[in-house]
Structure 1
Amino acid sequence: MAEKDNDIRDQAVAWVIRTQAADFAKWEEFTLWLEADHRHNLAYEKVLSAVDNLSDLTVSITQAKSEKTVFPKPANDEYITPERLPNRRRVMFGAIAASLVVAVSAGVWTQMPQPYDVMTGPGEREIVALPDGSKITLNGNTKIALDHKRPRYARLVGGEALFTVVHQQNDPFVVDTADVRLVDAGTEFNVIRTADALDVTVSEGLVIYNPDRENVSLPAGKRLYRPAAKNRVTVSTIAIEQVGSWRTGRLSFAGETLGEVAAALDRNLPVSIAVSPDIAGRPFSGVIQLDGDGQQNIEPIAAVLGVQAKKTGKGWILIGDDAVP
């Protein structure tokens, strides 16, 4: 929890710097970030408060020095009196002073250039707004690694994430996961990485799979699937509206194993969902619509899958029809 709070604080600092710029125009992305988690707004206000406090401190120090110390004027210099800043938040002097704000208030900015992780628990969602206007929507049980020095890069450690990327011709957005590199050409795409498989679906633009090796182009409406045990990939067609449909509680499957189905349920529900090894490899095709609050009984879902659901101490486990519940 502390690590996630630190990530939110880092994001708030970045947003404070951006929103103070005179040409800032990404208000929609900023609003999405604020609404994604109630803690975002609290963190943002705390950073703004630190800016104000530093502003007062800076003015006080400047005045004190001018009152106590008078330096002789060099004969070959012309002294220019600095202008008073009309808005005290401008004491930040852009990103440099913002770094001082964080260093004074919480010691965060010194950590910002370092890589950092964003994680979600079961059934949690998180929207990460990036400085270029791109955003990453994390499903439950997901972890990504980001770096303030590389704002156009992300590493999906595990789970599921939807990437909505602002296109930059000379600076493509790169997503690494396991031994795979995905390069975007201005697009929206969904990536699932589990122990069983890699699943990439594209709803807009173009994604290139391993451009230095296989160099597979995935335009909108295409899906790339690679089982973990194989290097061979399969490319198929997918309805665009299915890409990232988990955000509305609609889970679509086309021949995935019950192990992968259980992993999807585990990401989207606030309870643990496991599957018996005896049926984990069984394929399933169909659609599962989750309730709005994600608290529904798992047994009806198990019936759709043609299996049974057994309650456990941590959640549920899917078992075969012939197993004893």
Structure 2
Amino acid sequence: MQVERTDAEARAIDWLVRQRDPDFTDWDGFADWLAEDNAHAAVYDAVASLDRDLDALPSASAPAVTIITDAPARHHPSRRRWFGGAMAAALVGAIGLSSLGLFGDDGRIETLAGEHRTVELADGSKIEINGASVVEIDKDRPRFARLESGEAMFHVVHREHDPFVVETGGAKIVDLGTAFNVVRRDRQTSVAVSEGIVLYNPDRDNVRLVAGKGIEARDGDRNAPAVQDVDVANVGGWRSGLLVYNGTPLAVVAEDLKRTAGMQVSIAPDANDLSFRGALIIDKNRDRTIADLAALSGTKAERQGDGWILTR
């Protein structure tokens, strides 16, 4: 049966082909296209999955998790430089999303900058994944996840004799029935708890974190990380487009903006030592977000290509 290619499918194929170009920079345009219709992300994800697995489509089976996509995931480069657009569109219409391998390679879920994705696990737990992040889950270990890089908010169903374990870097976070946010950046792990209790490195540091507490742990530190107060209302605020800081280096803020909103912000050498205190609201008016960042950090924002640069 021939399946007619829809405009959305044709556009998704066009975006996929363009993004293979190393010089592709139109991420704002891509994000705007996704925002036009909730169905665009699912269509793109289906086309990208077909591209990746066109030579060996997986057999249909009940998924170990449910993945809810707000924007497409980043996939590894296809084994084919080009793929048959008409064929892919026909397959999109003929094959259900549950059989397209959205689970990823060996449970690896990788998101684009600016993409937010939710994974619902079989036990009822949920992982909300921020952009530019990599999370690994194991179908043979349903109470386990690994945050390789980026940021994720975990909502875990409590099981007294079967704790949920999150690994990141060389650290282990054991959940005792809670909601908590984890950030993994260069040789550093941040944990903030909004509900319940977690244990950080129970076999080594054994730091107990309750709601309203958090830590900043650096790789290689011999001492256990100090427990800090955090605002429960702001834990995982990236999910609603709210980023709150209290004396955070501008470079870290720029990294968060790229991850959460796909915004490209560079910090000039003369502003590297500046920190930021305040709240940033992320919406479609990116210029306003940057203007607020500049005003509150005492810097000047200038356009630089598809992004901005902050100078003193």
Q: TM-score, normalised by structure 2?
A: 0.67
Partner of 1:58: none
1:36 Cα deviation after fit:
4.4
Closer, same or farther in 2 for the Cα pair 1:45/1:237, shift >3 Å?
Answer: farther
2:272 to 259, 280, 300: 280
2:117 to 122, 126, 138: 126
Confirm whether residue 190 of structure 1 aligns to residue 181 of structure 2. Answer: yes
Provide the identity percentage: 37
On the 8 A contact 2:169/2:187 being kept in 1, the answer is no
| Separation of aligned partners in 1, 2:147 and 2:274 | 26
| Separation of aligned partners in 2, 1:209 and 1:308 | 39
Closer, same or farther in 2 for the Cα pair 1:34/1:235, shift >3 Å?
Answer: closer
Q: Matches of residues 51-70 of structure 1 in structure 2 within 5 Å?
A: none
Q: Please list every run of 5 or more consecutive structure 1 residues that lacks an aligned counterpart in the other structure.
A: 19-29, 51-101
Confirm whether residue 255 of structure 1 aligns to residue 299 of structure 2. Answer: no
Partner of 2:260: 268
One-letter amino acid of the counterpart of residue 124, structure 1: E
Q: Please list every run of 5 or more consecutive structure 2 residues that lacks an aligned counterpart in the other structure.
A: 1-15, 17-44, 74-90
One-letter amino acid of the counterpart of residue 171, structure 1: D
2:95 to 17, 25, 46: 46
On the 8 A contact 2:189/2:217 being kept in 1, the answer is yes
Confirm whether residue 147 of structure 1 aligns to residue 138 of structure 2. Answer: yes
Partner of 1:60: none
Closer, same or farther in 2 for the Cα pair 1:34/1:282, shift >3 Å?
Answer: closer
1:175 to 162, 166, 174: 166
One-letter amino acid of the counterpart of residue 198, structure 1: T
Partner of 1:306: 298
Closer, same or farther in 2 for the Cα pair 1:273/1:250, shift >3 Å?
Answer: same
Confirm whether residue 220 of structure 1 aligns to residue 211 of structure 2. Answer: yes
Give deviations 1:135-178, integer Å, cap 9, x for gaps.
Answer: 11111111111221112111111111100111111211111111
Closer, same or farther in 2 for the Cα pair 1:306/1:35, shift >3 Å?
Answer: same
| Separation of aligned partners in 1, 2:167 and 2:133 | 14
Confirm whether residue 5 of structure 1 aligns to residue 49 of structure 2. Answer: yes
Q: TM-score, normalised by structure 1?
A: 0.65
Confirm whether residue 206 of structure 1 aligns to residue 255 of structure 2. Answer: no
Q: CA RMSD in A?
A: 3.5
On the 8 A contact 1:183/1:208 being kept in 2, the answer is yes
Give deviations 1:175-214, integer Å, cap 9, x for gaps.
Answer: 1111111110111000111116321100111110000001
Q: Secondary structure at the match of 1:115?
A: helix
One-letter amino acid of the counterpart of residue 200, structure 1: V
Bigger CA drift: 202-211 or 275-284? 275-284
1:257 Cα deviation after fit:
1.3
Give deviations 1:235-276, integer Å, cap 9, x for gaps.
Answer: 111121111111111111122211111111111223222323
Give deviations 1:302-322, integer Å, cap 9, x for gaps.
Answer: 222211223223422222x1x
On the 8 A contact 1:127/1:137 being kept in 2, the answer is yes
Whichever structure has more helix as a proportion of its residues is: 1
Bigger CA drift: 254-263 or 214-223? 254-263
2:129 to 119, 138, 145: 138
| Separation of aligned partners in 2, 1:141 and 1:34 | 16
Structure with greater Cα Rg: 1
Partner of 1:84: none
Q: Secondary structure at the match of 1:309?
A: strand
| Separation of aligned partners in 2, 1:205 and 1:45 | 45
